[in-house]
Structure 1
Amino acid sequence: MPALDHESAPRISRLQMVPPDLTARRILDWAGLLNARDVGGLPPMHGGRIRPGALVRSDVLTRLTDEGRAALVEHGVRTIVDVRSAGELAEDDVYPFAADDEVVKYLNVPFSLGRDADAWAEIKARYERAETREELNRIDLDGHRAGLVAIARAVADAPPGGVLVHCHAGKDRTGLVIGLLLSLVGVADDQIADDYALTSLNFEPLIVEWLDRMTDDPRERQRLRGLAEPRREVILDTLGYLRGRYGSALEYLMAGGLEQPYLDRLEARLVERP
């Protein structure tokens, strides 16, 4: 995997475009990361707010520096839920948190958990036919419910402190996880979409890194860029599809086996009442 040039990569370079309010305060400038933020402060429709520090999203932590690690711990993160596959983990040269870390608990809960060979063949065929990120997210909702339920359980069962969820870029798999959890506790679609779109603040280096790994062909790079760009319309479509096919985030997760005690713990963990 090509290394990112941290000297030339922008560091929250477009933050001036974000008003100095809740949104700006949620951006986490942790050394080594390009796409980290706290979803705390978003308002569920039935009152209260998402508890600041309770749920953090980011890109992969392999680039986190010692300074960045210290900032993560100071922010209150005490559990990391890494949703990457075993194959992706095998490519890591270094990871800043071990399974036996005494301060931060590390969990690998793959997004693809519970996916058998037959299911993967069907998902892969649908992936290959897909032309938009919206289609890919729909496929992920249909094909990866077991993994999404397992991730929700891991967040619910985490020890006291903040939970950080990450995949590689912190956009697609992480975006789906965060979108589901926020929708579950009543955050409006527009608020979820605004959070999703914040990924664009610093995402260009990650897009280029991914494109360099995928292809040198200019036309294919242009097509793939369309799949990679974090547009708020993507998550709005995903949430609309979720309701149209499954009813709601609650119904989707419960039908996948998430029991009421986990739902109660998620609500208590994520939502802060007045």
Structure 2
Amino acid sequence: MIDAVSSELLLMRKRLAPVVIGAAWVLMVIGFAFAIPYIVYSVLDPADPSRNGLLEILLPAEVGATSLSSYPLFGGAIMLILGVLVTGSEYRWSTWTARLTQGPSRTQVVLAKLVVGVLAATAIALAASLASVVAAAVIAAVESQPANWPGVTTLLASVGAAALISAAWMSVGAALGVLFRGTSVALAVGLLWTLGLENAVSGLATILPALEPVRTVLLGSASGSVVAGLGAPTQGDGGTPGVVDYLSPPVAVVVLLAYLALSTTLAVFLIRRRDVT
């Protein structure tokens, strides 16, 4: 297993896709969570009562919740793409046969891919958190506001939540890459579900009570509930789309862990049972 993980780490370092995905996500967090709201703040009338509230969420005291607010919707889609590329690229390059005939068992190879995928997603989440800290510090300095940083526990909880959400979405993408034996269909299905069907189900659940149990186990609902539990304003309160409070934070964490476990199990099962040539 150690050899399999080492091999996957080397493969991940040689690929450009994780770097591109990571850089894109860091830029999106800075842009959507800090830069665009700050531009809106700058052009608002100083007499507007919402102006001070907008500035408050951009300052260091709220950096943990603010940096997390983009994960339930946009971050999920980015990490799903990463997961699809982790497994689906092997089909596109016809390299599964070579990967599965050089020593480690099929189970070990797939688990190693998921482990390295989780590490990559965690590294990207950590980079986005660090970039958010810098952005909040810059805004505080420009606006001559005190840099009242949250406690270490709060910051660690924010990074941990970002890593868990990222890992869960990445694992779903990895399972889709195996299920559809490639990247194109897996990406299409994953993004359609993420950006379309989940939002439709969540919206319809407000008027169709029969859909409420379905909404509570959606990956987006669990992600949004974790973020809301850490202090980010919900979508209903004017917060970022995707941030909801449908589940309590502990239940939402369990749902995310369940997606991670089920996706890994599905990927391992399919690779063990299928002819990969």
* TM-score, normalization by structure 2: 0.27
Q: Which has the larger radius of gyration?
A: 2
More helix by share: 2
TM-score of the two chains, using structure 1 as the length reference: 0.28
More strand by share: 1
